[in-house]
Amino acid sequence: GQQVMQIPQYQHVQEGEDFTTYCNSSTTLSNIQWYKQRPGGHPVFLIQLVKSGEVKKQKRLTFQFGEAKKNSSLHITATQTTDVGTYFCAGRGSTLGRLYFGRGTQLTVWP
Protein backbone atom coordinates (compact mmCIF):
# COMPACT_ATOMS: atom_id res chain seq x y z
CA GLY A 1 0.00 0.00 0.00
CA GLN A 2 0.92 3.63 -0.26
CA GLN A 3 3.33 4.89 2.36
CA VAL A 4 4.83 8.26 3.13
CA MET A 5 8.05 8.21 5.10
CA GLN A 6 9.27 11.29 6.88
CA ILE A 7 12.63 11.99 8.50
CA PRO A 8 13.96 12.92 10.93
CA GLN A 9 11.50 12.08 13.66
CA TYR A 10 13.01 14.66 16.00
CA GLN A 11 15.17 17.71 15.45
CA HIS A 12 16.63 20.01 18.06
CA VAL A 13 18.21 23.25 16.88
CA GLN A 14 19.52 26.45 18.35
CA GLU A 15 17.50 29.52 17.48
CA GLY A 16 18.86 30.96 14.27
CA GLU A 17 19.92 27.61 12.81
CA ASP A 18 18.25 26.13 9.77
CA PHE A 19 15.95 23.10 9.78
CA THR A 20 14.89 20.64 7.10
CA THR A 21 12.44 17.75 7.11
CA TYR A 22 12.12 15.27 4.27
CA CYS A 23 9.28 13.16 2.94
CA ASN A 24 9.51 10.23 0.60
CA SER A 25 6.72 8.24 -0.99
CA SER A 26 6.83 4.69 -2.27
CA THR A 27 4.69 5.73 -5.23
CA THR A 28 4.21 8.82 -7.37
CA LEU A 29 2.03 11.42 -5.72
CA SER A 30 -0.65 13.59 -7.23
CA ASN A 31 0.14 16.32 -4.74
CA ILE A 32 1.65 16.79 -1.33
CA GLN A 33 0.58 18.98 1.54
CA TRP A 34 2.38 20.22 4.61
CA TYR A 35 0.86 20.78 8.02
CA LYS A 36 2.12 22.19 11.32
CA GLN A 37 0.85 20.98 14.67
CA ARG A 38 1.78 22.99 17.73
CA PRO A 39 2.11 21.10 21.04
CA GLY A 40 -1.38 20.30 22.29
CA GLY A 41 -2.95 21.65 19.14
CA HIS A 42 -4.36 20.35 15.89
CA PRO A 43 -2.76 20.25 12.42
CA VAL A 44 -2.91 23.47 10.46
CA PHE A 45 -2.56 23.52 6.70
CA LEU A 46 0.58 25.25 5.45
CA ILE A 47 0.78 24.64 1.72
CA GLN A 48 0.09 22.29 -1.17
CA LEU A 49 2.52 21.38 -3.96
CA VAL A 50 1.20 19.93 -7.20
CA LYS A 51 3.72 20.35 -10.01
CA SER A 52 6.87 18.35 -10.57
CA GLY A 53 9.87 20.28 -9.29
CA GLU A 54 7.68 22.95 -7.71
CA VAL A 55 9.19 25.29 -5.14
CA LYS A 56 7.11 27.56 -2.96
CA LYS A 57 8.17 29.99 -0.26
CA GLN A 58 6.39 31.38 2.75
CA LYS A 59 8.68 33.90 4.45
CA ARG A 60 11.39 31.70 6.04
CA LEU A 61 9.80 28.44 4.89
CA THR A 62 10.72 26.84 1.56
CA PHE A 63 8.79 23.87 0.23
CA GLN A 64 9.98 21.64 -2.61
CA PHE A 65 8.34 18.88 -4.60
CA GLY A 66 10.71 16.49 -6.34
CA GLU A 67 10.93 16.06 -10.09
CA ALA A 68 9.56 12.54 -9.85
CA LYS A 69 6.78 13.70 -7.47
CA LYS A 70 7.86 11.11 -4.95
CA ASN A 71 9.64 13.29 -2.44
CA SER A 72 9.29 16.66 -0.82
CA SER A 73 11.07 18.81 1.70
CA LEU A 74 10.37 21.68 4.03
CA HIS A 75 13.26 23.98 4.91
CA ILE A 76 13.10 26.67 7.57
CA THR A 77 15.79 29.34 7.49
CA ALA A 78 16.96 30.91 10.74
CA THR A 79 14.54 29.14 13.05
CA GLN A 80 12.69 31.00 15.77
CA THR A 81 11.10 29.71 18.95
CA THR A 82 7.70 30.22 17.30
CA ASP A 83 8.62 27.50 14.80
CA VAL A 84 8.35 24.86 17.52
CA GLY A 85 5.92 22.07 16.67
CA THR A 86 5.51 18.94 14.61
CA TYR A 87 5.58 19.25 10.85
CA PHE A 88 3.68 16.67 8.83
CA CYS A 89 3.72 15.98 5.15
CA ALA A 90 0.69 14.32 3.59
CA GLY A 91 0.54 12.94 0.10
CA ARG A 92 -2.25 11.94 -2.24
CA GLY A 93 -1.91 9.09 -4.70
CA SER A 94 -4.58 10.56 -6.90
CA THR A 95 -6.29 13.94 -7.14
CA LEU A 96 -9.31 12.92 -5.09
CA GLY A 97 -7.62 10.19 -3.12
CA ARG A 98 -7.13 10.09 0.61
CA LEU A 99 -4.20 11.77 2.28
CA TYR A 100 -1.39 9.62 3.62
CA PHE A 101 0.40 11.36 6.47
CA GLY A 102 4.06 11.00 7.28
CA ARG A 103 4.90 10.36 10.92
CA GLY A 104 5.97 13.95 11.39
CA THR A 105 9.12 15.73 12.48
CA GLN A 106 9.03 17.25 15.93
CA LEU A 107 11.06 20.46 15.96
CA THR A 108 12.45 21.92 19.17
CA VAL A 109 14.13 25.31 19.06
CA TRP A 110 16.40 26.35 21.92
CA PRO A 111 16.55 30.09 22.58
Site residues, other proteins (CB under 8 A): 6, 31, 33, 35, 41-45, 48, 88, 92, 95, 98-99, 101-104, 106
Measured from the CB atom, is 38 or 52 closer to other proteins? 38
| CA distances from residue 9 to 20, 28, 32 in whole angstroms, order as listed | 11, 22, 19
**Rama region for 30: left / alpha / beta (φ>0; ψ in -120 to 50; rest):** alpha
69 or 92: whose CB is closer to other proteins?
A: 92
Nearer to other proteins, 35 or 65 (CB): 35
CB of residue 16 to other proteins, shortest distance in Å: 26
Minimum gap (Å) between residue 74 Cβ and other proteins: 15
Cβ proximity to other proteins, 18 vs 22, nearer residue: 22
Q: How far is CA 28 from the centre of its chain?
A: 16
- Taking phi over 0 as left and psi of -120 to 50 as alpha, with beta for the rest, 68 belongs to alpha
Amino acid found at 14: Q
